[in-house]
Amino acid sequence: MHKLFKTTLALFLTCCLLCGILPCGLSFAASDPLQLMVAADTHFQCAADLGAFSDDYTEHLLEPAVYGYASTQGQMPYESEAILAQMLTEFASSDASCLLIAGDLTCGKPQSHRAFAQYLKKAEAAAGKPVFVINGNHDCDAEDSDKGISMQTFREIYADFGYNEAISCHGDSASYAVDLNDTYRLLAIDTCIYGEDEGRIGTSVFRWIKAQTRQASKDGKTLIAMMHHSILPHYELQPMIDNWQFFASWFADHGIRTVLTGHIHANDISSTASDRKNTLFDIQTGALIASPNTWRLLTFLPDELHVESRFITQIDTALLPPMLTNRQKALIKADFPSYAHTYFVSGVGKWLNRNVGSADRLVRWFKLKEGTGAYTAAKELTGVLGDAVGLDIYDTGKGKSIESVLRPYGISVPQSAYQKPYEVAATLMYGLFHGDEATISSRADTELLLVCLQGALLAAAQHMPTPKTLDALVTAVTGRALSKQSLRKWSEQWALALLETLAGGIVDDYSAPADLNVTLRWEPQANTVTVHPLLRLIRLLTEFFTRRFR
């Protein structure tokens, strides 16, 4: 809240100082069409960086023998080389004049960076077209080590992919400007805080951006920006760079009307209009390494922008590492999109097992020591919760289910093809990452997930640890004791209210047009992001307490 207050105050003071001083929105030069290929979050790992499969957190998965190695974020590192190779092959055969990659190029390790750069070098030679990159939060650390590279080393490794061709490079970051053709100029903006996930546009970088917009105006160039972190929110609960409201309006009023981003791993397009009615689009491209394995084709025209989304539908199994079994390789070869989607769903199941069914996070967050009552309680509680969310949804004759738990309360479970609650949760999450959420998930999915959560909570309440054990955990976490009965009531009511709010905040598109295939025009959009952070906070709190007390 303190950070929000400072951000709001800074925005208010900045507006007061700059009101009436900023120049009017820039006019745009007439231009020939420009076609770009855009990818993001390739998260490449070379063979030496892969390591062995992890079989942790695979409880209750439907097909652990095949998908038990899935990443909890849905990324496919063991398939990353084959996916990258296919994307670069499609780049060579596309009509795009160049390829842009919006950060998180690799896992961050030096050897993966160098291998990735070699792939790009071969791709440029094969396609006869340039590749331009910018760093993401996984690409650079504060200094060089065997686990990561510094920003300076990043610029050296990727010198041939933007920096050598640049008309301007910012001295203290990885930012640069390069001409894409006679009309369009790319601003590749480094928004990273090295060694951290969060992003920002620092003071020095912003001074450089201002200088570039002035130069572009003199040169008659239309600017396109690329940066890893979002400049506009794409869903209600998304973390944002500091002062994004100010930067979004400033960009729109100073000739930057398109920003290409990544980071969230979702295909999504948001828009806003400044007070001067200038439009800005944040076109976020999902992670190439995660289902649905997307890249985009953008066609810039004087009055509009055509966005097409393409998906990797096949990969060369000869490029897969030896850790994958023959069965896995056969499934990938037969239907890669289906395999990648089931991999994603399994990753959501592992995420739930890690964060709900395991005490690992609680132990780390609250620094619980092994052998203490609080540690024992954390292990018991998360074990109960993990078993509860791992129940079958419907009666199958194999024991307790969500359906059997809810039956005595007169609560029916909507019929579906799902078997486990994690599959329902994955569908809702997949809608966000895929884009055009309404075509993937539905209100019925949200309602089914909430029924599953209700059943899981009731199932857990039947097997909660003893009051004495719970008291040890609650006292360690909150500093005061709480009875078992009170804890049951509180957890059922507040958890459902919170989870329902979170589901809406993640699944509901914050700002549209469509996300995948759409024609964008530069006039203000009907449904745009509201650039008032306090209003967003109030709306979230209102939604939460409405659901809590209704």
3-state secondary structure (DSSP) of residue 413: coil
Residue 11, domain member (yes or no): no
Q: Which pLDDT value is given to residue 546?
A: 57
Average pLDDT (324-343) is: 97
Where does 135-255 show beta strands of DSSP type E?
168-169, 176-179, 184-189, 222-227
Residue 440 binned pLDDT confidence (cut-offs 50, 70, 90): confident
Q: Domain total for the chain?
A: 2
CA distance 180 to 33: 11
Residue written as tokens 């738990």?
405
Q: Which pLDDT value is given to residue 542?
A: 58
Residues 220, 129, single domain; the answer is: yes
Residues 259, 125, single domain; the answer is: yes
Residue 23, domain member (yes or no): no
Residue 27 tokens, joined: 């006019």
pLDDT in tens, 33-47: 899 999 999 999 999
| C-beta of residue 359 within 8 angstroms of C-beta of residue 378 | yes
Q: Which pLDDT value is given to residue 381?
A: 82
Residue 113, domain member (yes or no): yes
Q: Which pLDDT value is given to residue 526?
A: 56
Residue 191, domain member (yes or no): yes
Residue 522 pLDDT > 60, yes or no? Answer: yes
Residue 317 binned pLDDT confidence (cut-offs 50, 70, 90): very high
Residues 234, 302, single domain; the answer is: yes
CATH number, domain containing residue 142:
3.60.21.10
Residue 29 pLDDT > 50, yes or no? Answer: no
pLDDT in tens, 151-193: 999 999 999 999 999 999 999 999 999 999 999 999 999 999 9
Range with top average pLDDT, 310-319, 425-434, 532-541: 310-319
Residue 314 binned pLDDT confidence (cut-offs 50, 70, 90): very high
Residues 315, 374, single domain; the answer is: no
Residue 200, domain member (yes or no): yes
Residues 254, 128, single domain; the answer is: yes
Looking at residue 466, its amino acid is: T
Residues 396, 258, single domain; the answer is: no
CA distance 151 to 117: 15
Average pLDDT (194-204) is: 91
Residue 473 pLDDT > 80, yes or no? Answer: no
Residue 251 pLDDT > 50, yes or no? Answer: yes
Residues 175, 304, single domain; the answer is: yes
Residues 93, 146, single domain; the answer is: yes
Average pLDDT (101-105) is: 96
Residues 167, 242, single domain; the answer is: yes
Residues 271, 412, single domain; the answer is: no
Last residue of a domain, one of 269, 293, 319: 319
pTM, whole model, 2 decimals?
A: 0.85
3-state secondary structure (DSSP) of residue 94: coil
Q: Which pLDDT value is given to residue 212?
A: 97
3-state secondary structure (DSSP) of residue 350: helix
Residue 429 tokens, joined: 């999450």
Residues 311, 370, single domain; the answer is: no
Residue 530, domain member (yes or no): no
Residue 472 tokens, joined: 């040890």
Average pLDDT over the chain reads 84
Q: Which pLDDT value is given to residue 422?
A: 95
Residue 467 binned pLDDT confidence (cut-offs 50, 70, 90): low
Residue 545, domain member (yes or no): no
- Give the range of the structural domain holding residue 129, as residue numbers without chain letter: 29-36+77-319
Residue 460 binned pLDDT confidence (cut-offs 50, 70, 90): confident
CA distance 76 to 80: 6
Residue 471 pLDDT > 70, yes or no? Answer: no
| C-beta of residue 343 within 8 angstroms of C-beta of residue 373 | no
3-state secondary structure (DSSP) of residue 259: strand
Residues 449, 377, single domain; the answer is: yes
CA distance 431 to 439: 8
Residue 548, domain member (yes or no): no
Last residue of a domain, one of 319, 342, 367: 319
